[in-house]
Structure 1
């Protein structure tokens, strides 16, 4: 098993003053500073802000401490950067996070406390966007790009967020259906074994494990290559190295190696990998856990062979075997592939809707 290789140094600017300058336009006594991930009160406050943001935007909160730590922990600081806005009493009122996701694509998380005075809240939003633009220029320059995309999301009904993003030059570019499907114990029989089964000349199997329990590197590379090939023509696809891909997936709080599957055609001289599914665990504090389809991809040459349907049956069977009660996934509502029709036919329904908003930033010459 290889050790993921990520940049030795962050491509971001760690000092907010270098990005924003001294005049950030906030009320007297307010400041923009990096958060301290080792401070449990800071992590608790960020978790509170995130959950309140979710409740306001979609009606319920799902994130927890682990999701915040993915963004702010020391482990991820070579590919991420964070700032918080503090009031004169030191209370965190807003939080911004950027992630050097892949070539030309920088993710941006943008959260401002609900209930703040409208003018102050809007200025907090402006500051976070200004900071993100500066970070986009920094990471784009480090990657040698002329233009760097900022990719941020919003809940479909979050009108405050929409107004801020539109006013800051972002464009709404895509809609995503966040879907879920109930799982019953009887559905364990959908696959002979979720570890390994075969149907119509296609084998569905977990990635192999070595004697140490770690996954086989060749299998992991096959998963990466299949997904890169499957998504090459999809919306906003961008190149991601194997090392970047592996590092990012392992950061997910729900990551488990025994949730990675390959699909292989067996009607040739040797098995041919043509599909891959990466699942994660959706933990619950009030009931059974669920499973989540983080990635599902099938190479174009193998479409129509039942590969996607078989992989979905595999994770449903696996979830039922583990005593879980649901499987979630995200689908591009505007995709021409017809994936939404497959999911609907297999019992998925839309739970809530999110949107992608983009802004392209011109990168200043080095």
Structure 2
């Protein structure tokens, strides 16, 4: 293994920083799990997901650093995700039981700022929005973010719905309303999804989220690459919904909604389904499209023997989506937040 070069991170005296490698995966998985447990009461290390971020496809769009104490123990991990032009998703995890966690966090967030500026310059934009997503009950992270110049801008409900085996049966859910059809994204004989369906999913989601918080345009290729990086990605977890045109019932149905799901890490050897995206085009809102898509993903999870379907929703959703999810059996498990900071290219 090549020894990673040191990084310029302003850490306490005697500490060093470097790019993480695969030997760090167990420690980093424990760091992530400990942070989750402290905030939500549960959290199992997921070395596979961490390995994918450290040395897999997810590493290609990220800059990362680990903080190493004078005894050689990894105590912190920073990840800077170049998500889109001017949009950077950041994560800083610090061993709270280690020495001087406040100083370590401050140094790593300072390094994150510098990476955000560099990424903005490489993208040819004058500034970048840094976006951190701490657990709402993580007082340490909220304090570190505030001290580093971030502002709390949004709260997100992380909702979960149990799935029963009976929901795999035909007729377990009402059919879509008249004029609404829901189907899985079409695939070729070799299992590769049909291009026009993937393009339709992307376009429907882009159009659906235009009036949502912090919305921005993401190119088709970037959208696909980002989702395929996820170790839980599965093409057969993508759905489309269509509605008849009320002005021209004989015309081909119009794209109306899309849902992209993935496989979540097992909990007690039991994987679940996670809804990455669900969007309904404004022209189709109020026609039962979202319900049809959600029924499809719950039934699919039941057929796969999964016990839950999870999703995230804006606590201040302009469409009142949280109310819909609650009415269909979802409950809030915990909350996360968005904290933003803008950095300008110098």
Q: Is residue 121 of structure 2 the alignment partner of residue 141 of structure 1? A: yes
Match of 1:31 among 16, 31, 39: 16
The answer on whether the counterparts of 1:190 and 1:314 sit within 8 Å (CA) in structure 2 is: no
Match of 2:235 among 253, 257, 260: 257
Match of 2:141 in 1: 161
For residues 232 and 285 of structure 1, the distance between their equivalents in structure 2, rounded to whole angstroms, comes to 35
| Shift of residue 107, structure 1, vs aligned partner | 0.4
The answer on whether the counterparts of 1:32 and 1:84 sit within 8 Å (CA) in structure 2 is: yes
Query: How far does the alpha carbon of each residue in 1:215-249 deviate from its partner, in whole angstroms, 9 at most, with x for none?
Result: 11110010000001101121111221111110111
Query: How far does the alpha carbon of each residue in 1:87-121 deviate from its partner, in whole angstroms, 9 at most, with x for none?
Result: 1222101000010112221000110002123xx21
User: Structure 1 length normalisation: TM-score?
Assistant: 0.88
* Residues 135/190 of structure 1: CA separation in 2 closer, same or farther (3 Å cut): farther
Match of 1:321 among 303, 309, 312: 303
| Shift of residue 25, structure 1, vs aligned partner | 4.4
Tell me the SS of whatever aligns to 1:353: strand
| Shift of residue 345, structure 1, vs aligned partner | 0.6
Residues 1-366 of structure 1 mapped to structure 2, 5 A cutoff: 17=7, 20=9, 24-28=10-14, 30-36=15-21, 39=22, 41-117=23-99, 120-189=100-169, 199-266=177-244, 267-284=249-266, 286-364=268-346
User: Structure 2 length normalisation: TM-score?
Assistant: 0.93
Structure 1 stretches of at least 4 aligned residues deviating more than 3 Å after TM superposition: 14-17, 189-194
RMSD, aligned α-carbons? 2.0
Unaligned runs of 5+ residues in structure 2 are none
Tell me the SS of whatever aligns to 1:215: coil
Tell me the SS of whatever aligns to 1:78: helix
| Shift of residue 349, structure 1, vs aligned partner | 0.5
Tell me the SS of whatever aligns to 2:333: strand
| Shift of residue 212, structure 1, vs aligned partner | 1.1
How many residues are matched?
339
Tell me the SS of whatever aligns to 1:154: coil
Tell me the SS of whatever aligns to 2:143: helix
The answer on whether the counterparts of 2:46 and 2:265 sit within 8 Å (CA) in structure 1 is: no
Q: Which moved more, 1:49-58 or 1:297-306?
A: 49-58
For residues 112 and 79 of structure 2, the distance between their equivalents in structure 1, rounded to whole angstroms, comes to 8
